[in-house]
Amino acid sequence: MQQLTSNVFVETEVRGCNFGYVTTSDGIVMIDSPHKPSVAQRVKAEIEGKGQLRYIINTEPHGDHWTGNSFFDVPVIAHEGVRTRMLNTDLDEHVARLATFGPEEPKLLEGYQFNYPVITFKNGMTMHVGDHTFQMIHMPGHTPYQAAILIKEEGVVFTSDNIFHGVQTWLHEANPDLWLVAVESLRKLDEEIFVPGHGAICGKGYLDEQGAFVLEWKEYVKGAIDQGMTRDEAVANLTKMTDRYPMDVEQDGMAPMVMRMNAGNLYDYLTGA
């Protein structure tokens, strides 16, 4: 994995969300976990060579951020909405989908059980591990249950999917107005190094582009509503927004589905459905 600062290591080039870990004077804390079981195994071996893993912090409710929790026997911390989402996820369906991710995956999924968050927060929480401070701040936008995780001593923020850096933005569960508030909240932080939910490491310089794209999405769907399109018509006819950025790693071919899901969600949001 890529070393970002003295104690922060990240992975941004595999299928699923970006994730990372922080080496402290009293063990290791992982932020989000790998989506693919085979990647989780590799990361587990890497971490074991560096110290004892103490906690996992999840940044949001989407499965690519918490699937890999199960491969690590440590307590998980997350927004309470992440726990609720996991409790409502069908285990068999989840495992069946993961098994399609590659030839190595089915065997690694034998006996798979969810590793749920056992410590949850609503608005925020601060955790001290060794010489490091982990500040979790609720920042709804991409979903209602996003959190930014600040690693104070390292100047690093794991932003969750409120930032998609140079890859397709998923708005299938988004509140675009709160997302724009989240972008401004990120801008006000002291920390300058951002680990986005997807895409390469970035900084505050990308916030304008991310915010503008969320706003453009909202205006695009609003235009269809103003023309009198029904939801079905909007989902079928709006196609232009997903040609701007590539899909993230191993998501090729998914752009039309993302287009439909984003358009449908924003249509519901804008019409109050």
Return residues touching Zn ion (CB under 5 A): 62, 161
C-alpha 69/C-alpha 57 separation (Å) is 9
Q: How far is the CB of 44 from Zn ion (least distance, A)?
A: 23
Q: How many CB atoms lie within 10 A of CB 139?
A: 24
Q: Are the CB atoms for 268 and 231 separated by under 8 Å?
A: yes
Of the candidates 53, 73, 58, 50, the residue with the CA atom closest to the CA atom of residue 3 = 50
Q: How far is the CB of 103 from Zn ion (least distance, A)?
A: 26
Alpha helices in 103-165 (DSSP H): 105-108
Q: How far is the CB of 114 from Zn ion (least distance, A)?
A: 17
When the beta carbons of 78 and 229 are compared against Zn ion, the nearer one is: 78
Q: How far is the CB of 60 from Zn ion (least distance, A)?
A: 5
When the beta carbons of 129 and 255 are compared against Zn ion, the nearer one is: 255
When the beta carbons of 62 and 79 are compared against Zn ion, the nearer one is: 62
When the beta carbons of 225 and 261 are compared against Zn ion, the nearer one is: 261
Q: What CA–CA distances, in Å, run from 46 to 33, 158, 195, 265?
A: 13, 20, 20, 39
